Amino acid sequence: MVRLFGEIDLSMVRCRACIKCKSYLVIHPNNPINQVALKTFERNHSGHTIMTVDLNEVKGIYTPLSNNGKVNHSEESS
């Protein structure tokens, strides 16, 4: 059960993904905390290749990061 995205069509969700690290951060356009997290993500991966992609392109392949920038290995149980 994926309650995080329960109200959102997955095909509409965009992510910032680092190709080098195989990690991504979901973009929440109206969430100011997320805006800061995205800036942190881009700073952490400066010099890497960062792309904006659909969530369904990276989900299950890349490592999701929570909004505080830590790796979230337990997204299904949190």
Which span sits near Zn ion by CB under 5 A: 4-12, 14-22, 27-35, 57-65? Answer: 14-22
Q: Which residue in 10, 12, 33, 48 binds Zn ion (CB under 5 A)?
A: 48
In the 3-class helix/strand/coil scheme, how is the chain assigned residue by residue? CCHHHCCCCHHHCEEEEECCCCEEEECCCCCHHHHHHHHHHHHHCCCCCEEEEEHHHHCCCCEEECCCCCECCCCCCC
37 binds Zn ion (CB under 5 A): no
45 binds Zn ion (CB under 5 A): yes
Nearer to Zn ion, 55 or 65 (CB): 65
Residues that bind Zn ion (CB under 5 A): 18, 20-21, 45, 48
